[in-house]
Chain A
Amino acid sequence: MKSNGSWLSTLNPSCKLIAHLLVMFLLMGISDPVITLCLWLLAVVIGITLGGWRLSYLLRRLLPYTLFFVLIFWMLAAFGKGEHVLWQWAWFRITEESMNNGLTIGLRMLGFVTYGLLFTSTTDLTALMMSLIHQLRLSPKWAYGMLAGFRFIPLFQSELQQMKSAHKIRGYKQKNSWKAFARYALPLFTQGIRKSERIAVAMEARGFTGTRDRTYYLTPVMTGKDWIYAASLLLAAGCIAWLLPW
């Protein structure tokens, strides 16, 4: 998670987080595919105008989800409830209502993904954690602890990859996948536990107490434009949700 230098990335992370979560809650309450579509388009427009997204970036990031969109649509259409049967084969049964629901839910998830991307593609992880300390009163112990832990995501990913290669050489085949899960989990966890202890000791040895009794290198603040962005986003989303049906 890194900032991308756009206008949106200059906003306060906590404020942006809450605003986007609120829009997502709004999306959950809407069962009309057209409104959902409009709310999704709102996110796309914000991304392109304020989020520094290029069309090619948008396509590259959202294309995988169109596949998912189709999947969700298909699942709801084929397994959803409804009266007016359009098509039936084996255990698949598609109705008018289920098609409609499938479309709404598919678009809703696309909306979730896009609002999420709007947040993650414009927010720096460190700034987010610091903002959580300052604006949302998260304890520094957890904020710095999370930063320390999240550093290990790429390392664990490469270790998992190496483990797969190593197992290939050994001729280890995953017969049933929960066993494979346990097999991969054990080395990852043992190394993780050893590392976590060393990190905690190293942090404390450098005088970290976890309390708020400290100074800060980065202190995100709330400014006028944060309020303006949050307010206009919610207003725009509200308008779409309530005025569009009229």
Chain B
Amino acid sequence: MNWKMKEVVLTVILAVACGVLYLGWSTLWIPISALVGPVGAGFMFGIWIIASPIVAYIIRKPGAALIAEVAAAAVEMLTGSHFGLSALLIGVFQGLGAEIAFAIFGYKRYNVFTLMLSGALAAVGSIAYNLVANGLGYYTTQMFFLTLGIHVISGIVLGGLLAKVIVEALARTGVLNPYEIMKSRRKQGKPHAVATRM
């Protein structure tokens, strides 16, 4: 794989930043899910897997999506709150899901479509974990499929699409210049973003 050190640290730091944002998101989630159940709260799900598409889109290397999500989940563990080791397990399932989307295309295609696909597959991964660990199978069948559907949609929109929006905004500020995303754009010779000052 041959990761550069700056890519390793970037992956971890972006994951850490996502992890810190997730913590805030969690506090929003609990009251909502009590009221409308896991189905309605599922609409908010996508945010929790955003680390994968963001990092994979910037670094463009095998493993980036998986590692990013696991590292983000580790933040929950390290801050000593929430679900400890189980957060790590969920991270693995979601990260694997997100990773598959990029693996299918041989880590060559990084566009809105693969980002959205990775959001959707991360949702599938999450549902798989919930099936095994959190008794999702005990819900009524229509609840199960409804939950799956909502998670997938949320993964596509809040995970994949939002990741694209955020990374493009980052690219405009110039901080991504030394990374693969901008390098491949320079190679293509048709930059999507506006030039910035030094």
Q: Within 8 Å by CB, do A and B touch in the complex?
A: yes
Report which A residues bind B (CB closer than 8 A). Answer: 1, 17, 20-21, 24, 28, 68, 71-72, 74-76, 78-81, 97-98, 101, 104-105, 108-109, 112-113, 115-117, 119-121, 125, 141-142, 145-146, 148-150, 152-153, 156-157, 160, 177-178, 181-182, 184-186, 188-190, 192-197, 199-201, 203-204, 208, 210
Inter-subunit contact A193/B28 (CB<8 Å): no
* Nearest chain A residue, comparing its CB with the CB of B38: A75
Q: Which residues of A contact B23 (CB under 8 A)?
A: 157
- Cα A130 to Cα B59 in complex, Å, equals 26
* Closest residue of A by beta carbon distance from B31: A71
Question: Contacts A81-B140, A186-B169 hold; do A75 and B37 have CB atoms under 8 A apart?
Answer: yes
B162 touches A141 (CB 8 A): no
A145 in contact with B8 (CB, 8 Å):
yes
Q: Is B123 in contact with chain A by the CB < 8 A criterion?
A: no
Docked complex Cα distance between A190 and B75 (Å): 19
B78 near A178: Cβ-Cβ < 8 Å: no
B139 contact from A79, A108, A152, A189, Cβ within 8 A: A79
A79-B143, A80-B140 as given contacts; A201 in contact with B16, CB under 8 Å: no
* Nearest CB in chain A: distance from B60 CB, A: 15
Q: How far is the CA of A120 from the CA of B83 in the complex (A)?
A: 11
Interface size class of B (residues with CB under 8 A): 35 or more
The CA of A195 and the CA of B13, in the complex, are separated in Å by: 8
Contact between B132 and A98, CB atoms less than 8 A apart: no
Asked if B135 contacts A188 (CB within 8 A), the reply is no
Question: Does the CB pair A189–B12 fall under 8 Å?
Answer: no
Q: A105-B135, A197-B10 are in contact. Are A185 and B158 (CB under 8 A)?
A: no
Chain B interface SS verdict (over half):
helix
Return A1 CB to nearest CB of chain B, in Å: 5
Hey, which chain B residues are within 8 Å of A181, CB to CB? 21, 25, 47, 162
When the two chains form their complex, are residues A199 and B39 in contact, meaning their CB atoms are under 8 A apart? Answer: no
Does B9 sit within 8 A of A, measured CB to CB? yes
The residue that B13 contacts in the complex, of A80, A113, A152, with Cβ under 8 A, is A152
Instruction: Choose among A72, A116, A148 the residue that contacts B12 (Cβ–Cβ < 8 A).
Output: A148
CB pair B143 A196 closer than 8 Å: no
List 9 A-B residue pairs with CB atoms under 8 Å apart, sorted by A's residue number: A28-B132, A71-B33, A109-B134, A141-B3, A160-B20, A188-B17, A194-B175, A197-B178, A199-B9
Give residues in B with beta carbon < 8 Å to A. Answer: 3-6, 8-21, 23-25, 28, 30, 33-34, 37-39, 44, 47, 54, 67, 71, 74-75, 77-80, 83-87, 89, 132-135, 138-141, 143, 158, 162, 165-166, 169-170, 173, 175-176, 178
Do A76 and B139 have beta carbons less than 8 Å apart? yes
Nearest A residue (CB) for B54 = A189
Please, how many angstroms separate the alpha-carbon atoms of A71 and B5 in the complex?
A: 43
A182 engages B169 (CB within 8 Å): yes
Chain A residue contacts of B83, Cβ below 8 A: 109, 112-113, 116
What distance in Å separates the Cβ of A28 from its nearest Cβ neighbour in chain B?
5
Min CB distance A106 to B, Å, is: 9
Task: Indicate which residue in A76, A81, A156, A178 contacts B17 across the interface (CB closer than 8 Å).
Answer: A156
Contact: A74 with B8, CB < 8 Å? no
- Give the contacting residue for A112; candidates B5, B86, B170; CB below 8 A: B86
Q: How far is the CA of A125 from the CA of B158 in the complex (A)?
A: 32
Given contacts A76-B135, A76-B138, A193-B175, contact A156 B12 (CB under 8 A): no
Q: How far is the CA of A120 from the CA of B81 in the complex (A)?
A: 10
Q: B133 touching A108 by the CB < 8 A rule? A: yes
Whether A189 pairs with B3 at a CB distance below 8 angstroms is no
Residue contact A115 to B162, C-beta cutoff 8 Å: no
Q: Are A117 and B84 in contact (CB under 8 A)?
A: yes
Q: Which residues of B contact A142 (CB under 8 A)?
A: 8, 67
Do B37 and A78 touch across chains, with their CB atoms under 8 A apart?
A: yes
Which B residue sits closest to A117, measured CB to CB?
B84
Query: Could you tell me if B34 and A200 are in contact, using CB atoms closer than 8 angstroms?
Result: no
Chain B nearest CB from A49 CB (Å) reads 20
Q: Check B86 against A113 for contact (C-beta < 8 Å).
A: yes
List the A side residues contacting B3 at CB < 8 Å.
141
| Distance of B124 from chain A, by nearest CB (Å) | 18
Contact of B16 among A152, A177, A185 (CB under 8 A): A152
